[in-house]
Structure 1
């Protein structure tokens, strides 16, 4: 019996549901013994590659494989097709090493016969997108409804369009490089000639979509501003090649190259094989990493590191893979993996255990392995674990020593304080609002550990937008004292206070007890508040690989603008930005990023965070914006679209996930009831996984960190100009602008959840759901 190593390609990873179990059975047998009865591993006469084989999956389907000899044979699984198609592909497919750069590819023999004069839009037959295995979605990529008429753009937010004008041809080519320069990278000559002549965005996208993955990424990067040297560096194209006729040992070694691993991945055991087959395209993030992603998964950093990037660029994938890598490198280390919300923390834990079911999860903070929890839950864990010793830290943060900080915070306590504090409205005017006091407390008072009026009168307040006279500051401090008095009576503290208290406690005990973590990884860092960062800094000492942060300033829907260095976390000079979108199509990405146009966003280093260079390797249909006159019309249209999607997906066997994203929970529950009444089996999602066969309805906030095949945005306010959120912050132009910016960010987050189709139900004539019929 000869055991075999299996190496999956991206398209082999996408298997039709009707064949999945048979595919798994076939590949499991192949891994155990390639001579097992029933596999029928056969060579193909007159094939262009002597390594090609086919195997019998069942009476209708055959697998196309490439066999590499060694101590144990290795089989590269190209794909599974119906019998005749599989034989044809086996005759013409060639598994080879690119002679220029040593990257492994699968190419089609007839590609060389395509005339040079062919039109740019015609796609040469390379490996991946155009020649997908059974059940593969058109252009599907792991990473990362035409109903009604498209509406015009409004207030800088794009409407969808069905006209070709969305992808205008220009007189100038999209690439500013020559054919020779592309061939110097290793781009196939026929593809290089077409690419340099391309002037139309959609045709260019279709052209590169069918190319081997690394070639597609190289061309997209060049089209969006990267230089040849940057592409060489990111894809590691400067290594020597063994030549197109490399032996099997050379090929196996070349499969380890980062750019090769974008397309080929070894499968570690039958359990991994089953997960790969069952999860298909939606689970490919676990297997295929971009070389840049892999760099930041593996790289040792000299200190804290910040990884930025737009929605769908794979930041969370890097964080999860990095947590696993750290745990495997040093099984005894203590790793904290945290984020802003409990739901996102649950998603991180699920992703981590899907990536590595055997990973050691720490039972609590300070334990060996990976401890996954939301940042507020983490702060509460520190406070509970301190017991009576927490009193000193509470005194330093709140001004009075006490141990009872775990009670439930009274609802709307800041609103109560505003009503009860005399002179507040006279001194603050329009700023006498709960939102102003809360942000002043979280951005100024707590980070500076202010416990007296004298300290508050002296403290600087940069970037607060509202200037306060001495008497106004005195009025604010009265409100702070009233807030803290009520908390003491109730035996509680708010989340921001607990984070500050936890940080202070950890700093107090660090000299004799040490820090509770060796590594801290933070996802969605843009939403953490100042005292959260104080806690993150207190969890781990300053050393190599101490803090790793993933963030996107455009997705800031909870936190406030801040700079990490103010809280002892220095990342300047140790940061990187991801630009390739793995989740959504170029059309959806264009619509989502256009929401942000005309507004400046900042990253956690205080620099402007732009969207230049963001790109997607996939194309699809344009998003559609439809205007509805009222709630009932919107609900009818949504039900009709979902029923169509369900019908289209039935029987395909593909993993399809549909979502309706809404503004708040009350609206969510109304929509679920309305859809069920119309025969759509939708369910509301709050806590727990956002998965299942039926469409889900969830708030836009809850949708953060998720992705779906098709998405409907319900009752979307494309302006945010008169939203209740911005009205709550009208005490200063700056704060109101920040609130509107968060509203845009929320819409951007929601729109970027869609992988394939996006439908936007836009508000018609009104800016909120209040008063809608």
Structure 2
């Protein structure tokens, strides 16, 4: 007998208390071992429309809903007795007559009241001139082809812009996505049609919601982290990108919450599963993100995979580790040391015309980043992104400064990060390498030297390099041409367009912070057009307070309200721009009496505690509710960054990355988002408010 689990089961399990979850897991394990054991208490559901729905007793109050046939047992839902029975009475599992996919379908007549209202609660009868139906030009065959259940054809055909979101909440995911795509003018993928003889549970759309579990270990992982449904269920578009072969470097892009990190994690696991001898580097750009990847990889593949053949590292961490192994531990130059050497060299050469800020930016973004080791190299470099024009005499003077800085670094036996990666690149080029594949998450923040290193590390092999990132979330690195470095992802660049983490209301509002399309230097564009969220929620709440005390009260009350609604403390995050505003976050959480934990590179979320931290630490995390505080004028964008600008392009970069940072922090929210600041508030908040 095949033993399956539905995504609705893991979602309902997550809503129970810890003790209730423990009892459910014990019963689930017993069912998998022997569903016919004398102690199992099955009860036929007399009022269920699906004759194969049964309840299984967990304890005096908790019931599991299972779909039971001679060949399979499917865990569908778990809740308190009456709620579990009500859920089962409103649903059925059936094979779609056109696509052939197994679907969990909500009974149409039981939700009639819900879909007769617009998204703002106003009934259609109350509207003087209801909008025109969105899908009037599509016949039944077309709608069925997109996975719409037959019982819902009439509702879909009558859907308008006001009612569509209310209807899609009740449809299978593939149908909801297709309708949202159609409504936004996006190009749809060709639906998969399975022949009658194919098992409906093997259809790609069915596999995103039903999963066969072959042993107790798989079931244990599926139930241990019910919030992490991505570890068990995959969208067909994600699975295709994970399991395909690539003739060269490949890249997956997408807005926040579309599952780029999920694809990267599964890709690393897939590569090791396909080749038992493969060594995989799974890299990202910060310690906090690397720690989050390690935890998620353990959820996905078990602890052994993280230590045996998948090395999870930061980019600087793997560079430092390999350099120490090959050449001895490097002594890294600090920014303060480099600034000092630059000023000393400029003064010694009488070059006071160049400011400290300009010298440091030109060294960091051009001379050192590209490892320019001769006057000819610097004279001919394109200086991408730098708008301050330099004549030949100015370049010559600057090169004299940079030569002295290199001499000073060598005399002190100091190494810069680009220099370290440059030496590693030269060592591995054409030689024996420690990894067969490299999978890089948050690839938009990879540097020039790091990309060269990655290219050498995998030797240009097929499936060697796989990147996941979003140009709209670039925080640290100046843009540059990947193609110029031999890493050409043209023709192997793909965009994910289904957002799982963030509600439609939050995602669409935050899109106002970014351009609709962002292109890299090589002309490859990341477009937000056609991205859809698969669930709805309340719109983000943007409030400008009179002063910090007023803001504290607003945030404290908001957290209290979320806790009263059943959101657990660890499902709430509070973020501020920098350490300077952390006191405001602490005060706000204390005001509502909640415990909190301060995030760092090593400190993770803690059960029973609200998480607070700076925006940079929000990457890789997700919460049901997020408050982003202290979005004041001169905090976003950060005034001290603006004051150090030495080049017009640097000012554009400051504004762009500050927007990206706010976008990153806000898109950690799943259901609830609060954004606050003190009058007059950040100029960025108006861009969000326009889309609310």
Q: Is the Cα contact below 8 Å between 2:555 and 2:588 reproduced in 1?
A: no
Q: Is the Cα contact below 8 Å between 1:221 and 1:231 reproduced in 2?
A: no
Correspondence list, 1:121-270, <5 A? 121=116, 171-175=131-135, 177-180=137-140, 181-201=142-162, 203-227=163-187, 230-232=188-190, 236-242=191-197, 253-270=199-216
Superposed displacement of residue 83, structure 1: 3.4
Structure 1 distance, partners of 2:597, 2:80, is 37
Quote the residue 1:482 is aligned against: 404
Structure 1 distance, partners of 2:456, 2:632, is 40
- After superposition, give the CA deviation of every residue in 1:613-668 in whole Å (9 maximum; x if it has no partner): 12212111111111123333323332332233334337xxx685111101112322
Superposed displacement of residue 689, structure 1: 4.4
Quote the residue 2:375 is aligned against: 453
Q: Is the Cα contact below 8 Å between 1:425 and 1:432 reproduced in 2?
A: no
Moved more, 438-447 or 52-61: 438-447
Q: Is the Cα contact below 8 Å between 1:345 and 1:374 reproduced in 2?
A: yes
Structure 2 distance, partners of 1:169, 1:441, is 63
Quote the residue 2:457 is aligned against: 539
How many equivalent pairs are there? 674
- Give the alignment partner of residue 256 of structure 2, picking from 303, 311, 336: 311
Q: Is the Cα contact below 8 Å between 2:101 and 2:201 reproduced in 1?
A: yes
Correspondence list, 1:610-621, <5 A? 610-621=527-538
Q: Is the Cα contact below 8 Å between 2:559 and 2:589 reproduced in 1?
A: no
Structure 2 distance, partners of 1:631, 1:44, is 56
Q: Is the Cα contact below 8 Å between 2:7 and 2:233 reproduced in 1?
A: no
- Give the alignment partner of residue 8 of structure 1, picking from 3, 6, 9: 6
Q: Is the Cα contact below 8 Å between 1:4 and 1:33 reproduced in 2?
A: no
- Give the alignment partner of residue 539 of structure 2, picking from 622, 626, 630: 622
1:523 aligns with 2:441: yes
- Give the alignment partner of residue 495 of structure 1, picking from 411, 417, 429: 417
- After superposition, give the CA deviation of every residue in 1:384-412 in whole Å (9 maximum; x if it has no partner): 11127xxxxxxxxxxxxxxxx72242442
Quote the residue 1:40 is aligned against: 41
Q: Is the Cα contact below 8 Å between 1:660 and 1:697 reproduced in 2?
A: yes
Quote the residue 2:344 is aligned against: 420
- SS of the counterpart of 2:483? helix
Q: Is the Cα contact below 8 Å between 1:112 and 1:190 reproduced in 2?
A: no
Quote the residue 2:688 is aligned against: none
1:383 aligns with 2:323: yes
Structure 1 distance, partners of 2:455, 2:448, is 11
Structure 1 distance, partners of 2:129, 2:365, is 48
Structure 2 distance, partners of 1:472, 1:441, is 14
Q: Is the Cα contact below 8 Å between 1:592 and 1:752 reproduced in 2?
A: yes
- Give the alignment partner of residue 644 of structure 1, picking from 558, 561, 564: 561
Structure 2 distance, partners of 1:706, 1:666, is 22
Structure 2 distance, partners of 1:221, 1:25, is 41
Structure 1 distance, partners of 2:477, 2:130, is 41
- SS of the counterpart of 1:35? coil
- Give the alignment partner of residue 99 of structure 2, picking from 97, 101, 107: 101
Q: Is the Cα contact below 8 Å between 2:49 and 2:89 reproduced in 1?
A: yes
Moved more, 175-184 or 714-723: 714-723
Quote the residue 1:80 is aligned against: 78
Structure 1 distance, partners of 2:248, 2:646, is 40
- SS of the counterpart of 1:255? helix
Structure 2 distance, partners of 1:417, 1:163, is 67
Q: Is the Cα contact below 8 Å between 1:63 and 1:79 reproduced in 2?
A: yes
Superposed displacement of residue 65, structure 1: 1.4
Quote the residue 1:704 is aligned against: 619
Moved more, 208-217 or 748-757: 208-217
- SS of the counterpart of 2:514? coil
Structure 2 distance, partners of 1:681, 1:702, is 19
Q: Is the Cα contact below 8 Å between 2:369 and 2:418 reproduced in 1?
A: no
Quick one: structure 1 residues 604 and 163, their matched pair in 2 at CA, closer, same or farther if it must change by over 3 Å? farther
Quote the residue 1:665 is aligned against: 579
Moved more, 368-377 or 670-679: 670-679
Q: Is the Cα contact below 8 Å between 1:8 and 1:266 reproduced in 2?
A: no
Superposed displacement of residue 224, structure 1: 2.5
Q: Is the Cα contact below 8 Å between 1:585 and 1:616 reproduced in 2?
A: yes
1:752 aligns with 2:667: yes
Correspondence list, 1:277-316, <5 A? 277-280=223-226, 282-316=227-261
Superposed displacement of residue 528, structure 1: 1.0
Name the structure, 1 or 2, with higher relative contact order (CA <8 Å, separation 6+). Answer: 1
Superposed displacement of residue 526, structure 1: 0.4
- After superposition, give the CA deviation of every residue in 1:439-478 in whole Å (9 maximum; x if it has no partner): 4334433455422334322333343212111221123223
- Give the alignment partner of residue 356 of structure 1, picking from 301, 325, 328: 301
Quote the residue 2:218 is aligned against: 272
Quote the residue 1:51 is aligned against: 52
Structure 2 distance, partners of 1:433, 1:717, is 28
Structure 1 distance, partners of 2:47, 2:671, is 39
Structure 1 distance, partners of 2:45, 2:368, is 72
- Give the alignment partner of residue 432 of structure 1, picking from 352, 355, 359: 355
Superposed displacement of residue 758, structure 1: 0.5
Structure 2 segments unaligned to the other structure (5+ residues): 684-692
Quote the residue 2:658 is aligned against: 743
Quick one: structure 1 residues 673 and 478, their matched pair in 2 at CA, closer, same or farther if it must change by over 3 Å? farther
Quick one: structure 1 residues 420 and 629, their matched pair in 2 at CA, closer, same or farther if it must change by over 3 Å? farther
Structure 2 distance, partners of 1:336, 1:30, is 38
- SS of the counterpart of 1:378? helix
